[in-house]
Amino acid sequence: MPHITVKHFPRELTQEQKQALAEELSDVVKKHFGSKDASLSVALIPVEQDRWKEDVYDKEIKPALDTLAKKPGYSM
């Protein structure tokens, strides 16, 4: 039951753009994990730029640097 969460700076995306992004992300996960479409869920969570360090980097990225599949090209 993969769940994909994408945290990002706020963007003006239409429902169609959000749906296309969710479908493309799901396709990649299905390809690599052999998941069924019905088992996948996708969350798109906007985070204000001035909150990124405190809400995302410090709480989720920094503590997991050793286990991240892809590390960011920045530090805070």
Catalytic residues: 2
The C-alpha torsion from 63 through 66 and 72 to 73, rounded to 10°, is: 120
Q: What's the Cα-to-Cα distance from 1 to each of 24, 28, 37, 43, 46, rounded to whole Å?
A: 17, 14, 10, 14, 23
Contact between 6 and 44 under an 8 Å Cβ cutoff? The reply is yes
